[in-house]
């Protein structure tokens, strides 16, 4: 048995090497991307050591003294750190609950359009906001949701007594953050599902039509089941970003009056770095990354138990 397994393993290795040699041009095209990945994703990971050292500029990362888990002790001893984590989780979970199904629904709706020009226009309009920086979008939303902006003007015309304080009321601010984030990523997220829907065999729809299924039933029984693997994969990846509540967005839109409900781990790390407290800031970032990795592995494990659709990491 061992001999046959070794032979099969050797045969697979030889076939893989043969494929690489045959398509060496494509392999060479990967080299620049691999170099960039190593330089910008793996080399900077040496900075993780700052979380365990008393970092000094003059001594550098490797020359600074080890302090063990001291920075983590300081981090968890901060009075409001638990509250910051809850803020991060609540904002991220709401974004996931609303923002995850929204692109799926949009993709299914666009897939039903038969006018290709209209479909292209709508798709372009929905994913265009993804390319705008939150620096620009924050300025636009500050004008739209200000006391004298169009949103409050419409509400006042509809009979609201006084303008809503979107940027000083924590609940309203959180709702605005979640809504604008979903709006910005709606069209971009739908691209993946539209690509998956384009691969569905048209004969399935034709057979369903002959059997008397209308467009709604075809969507429920054909379109959605065919993109389930894509949905599961995207969901697993999104679960890993649960602690990424959207630093760019919140940093450009929040203010001290809404710290109680809008202060998240990333903004806390930013303030720690501005105070030259690099150890605590790095410890907070490492804590968030480890939790994200655990969540991805857990979601992948559960998906593996319930179905065959996983990321292939467990």
Summary mean pLDDT of the chain: 84
Classify residue 272: in a domain, yes or no: yes
Check whether 8 has a pLDDT greater than 80.
no
| pLDDT band (50, 70, 90) for residue 4 | low
pLDDT at 178: 92
Please check whether residues 185 and 219 belong to one and the same domain. Answer: yes
Give me the DSSP letters along 270-293: HHHHHTT-HHHHHHHHHHHHHHHH
Please tell me the distance from the alpha carbon of residue 83 to that of residue 267, in angstroms, as a whole number: 13
**pLDDT confidence band for 101 (50 / 70 / 90):** very high
Picking from 14-18, 129-133, 162-166, 308-312, which range would have the lowest pLDDT averaged per residue? 308-312
Instruction: Identify whether residues 94 and 53 lie together within a single domain.
Output: no
Q: How would DSSP label each residue in 32-63?
A: HHHHHHIIIIIGGGGGGGGGGEEEETTTHHHH
Q: Return d(Cα 263, Cα 155) in angstroms, integer.
A: 28
- In this prediction the pTM is 0.76
pLDDT digits (tens, 9 = 90+) for 214-260: 888 888 888 999 999 889 888 888 887 777 888 888 888 888 888 88
Band (10; pLDDT cuts 50, 70, 90): low
Apex 101 CA angle, 311 and 221, nearest 5: 85
Residue 141 pLDDT grade (very low, low, confident, very high; cuts 50, 70, 90): very high
Q: Are residues 31 and 109 in the same domain?
A: no
Say whether pLDDT at 2 is over 90. no
Is residue 34 located within the same domain as residue 87?
no
106 shares its domain with 222:
yes
The answer to the question of residue 311 being in a domain is: no
- Please indicate, yes or no, whether residues 46 and 162 belong to a single structural domain of this protein: no
- Asked if pLDDT for residue 313 goes beyond 60, the answer is no
Give the model's pLDDT for residue 107: 92
Instruction: Looking at the structure, tell me whether residues 200 and 150 fall in a common domain.
Output: yes
Q: Checking phi first, is residue 160 left (phi over 0); if not, alpha (psi -120 to 50) or beta?
A: beta
Q: CB neighbours of 146 closer than 8 A, spacing ≥ 6?
A: 152, 166, 167
Structure letter (DSSP) for residue 243: T
Name the range with the highest mean pLDDT among 9-23, 68-82, 140-154: 140-154
Task: Please write down the long-range contacts of 142-147, taking CB distance under 8 Å and 24 or more positions apart.
Answer: 142/167, 142/253, 145/176
Does some domain include residue 312? Answer: no
- Average the pLDDT over 267-289 and give the result: 80
Residue 298, in any domain of the structure: yes
Least confident of 66-80, 101-115, 116-130: 66-80
pLDDT above 70 as % of the chain: 93
Q: Which of 188, 184, 190, 163 is nearest to 250 (CA)?
A: 184
Q: Where among 43, 68, 93 does a domain terminate? A: 68
CATH number where 236 lies: 1.10.3720.10
List the domain range (segments joined by +) for residue 59.
Answer: 1-68
In this predicted structure, the answer to whether residue 103 has a pLDDT above a threshold of 90 is yes
| pLDDT of 121 above 60 | yes
List pLDDT tens digits, range 264-277: 888 877 877 777 77
């Amino acid at each position: 048995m061992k001999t046959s397994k070794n032979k099969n393993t050797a045969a697979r290795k030889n076939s893989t090497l043969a494929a690489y040699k045959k398509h060496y041009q494509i392999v060479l095209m990967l080299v620049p991307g691999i170099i960039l990945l190593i330089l910008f994703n793996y080399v900077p990971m040496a900075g993780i050591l700052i979380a365990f050292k008393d970092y000094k500029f003059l001594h550098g990362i490797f020359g600074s003294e080890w302090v063990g888990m001291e920075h983590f002790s300081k981090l968890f001893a901060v009075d409001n750190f638990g509250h910051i984590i809850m803020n991060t989780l609540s904002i991220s979970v709401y974004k996931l609950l609303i923002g995850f199904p929204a692109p799926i629904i949009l993709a299914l709706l666009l897939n039903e359009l038969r006018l290709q020009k209209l479909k292209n226009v709508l798709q372009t309009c929905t994913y265009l906001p993804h390319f705008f920086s939150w620096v620009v979008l924050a300025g636009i939303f500050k004008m739209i949701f200000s006391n004298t902006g169009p949103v409050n003007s419409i509400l006042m015309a509809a009979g609201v007594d006084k303008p809503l304080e979107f940027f000083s009321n924590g609940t309203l601010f959180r709702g605005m953050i979640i809504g604008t984030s979903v709006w910005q990523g709606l069209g971009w997220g739908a691209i993946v599902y539209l690509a998956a829907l384009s691969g569905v065999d048209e004969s399935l729809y034709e057979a369903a039509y002959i059997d008397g299924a209308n467009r709604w039933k075809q969507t429920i029984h054909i379109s959605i089941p065919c993109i389930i693997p894509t949905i599961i994969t995207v969901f697993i990846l999104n679960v890993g970003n649960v602690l990424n509540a959207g630093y760019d967005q919140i940093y450009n839109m929040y203010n001290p009056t809404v710290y109680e409900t809008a202060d998240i781990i990333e903004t806390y790390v930013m303030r720690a770095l501005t105070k030259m407290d690099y150890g605590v800031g790095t410890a907070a970032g490492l804590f968030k990354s480890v939790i994200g990795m655990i969540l991805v592995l857990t979601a992948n494990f559960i998906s593996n138990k319930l179905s065959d659709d996983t990321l292939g990491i467990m």
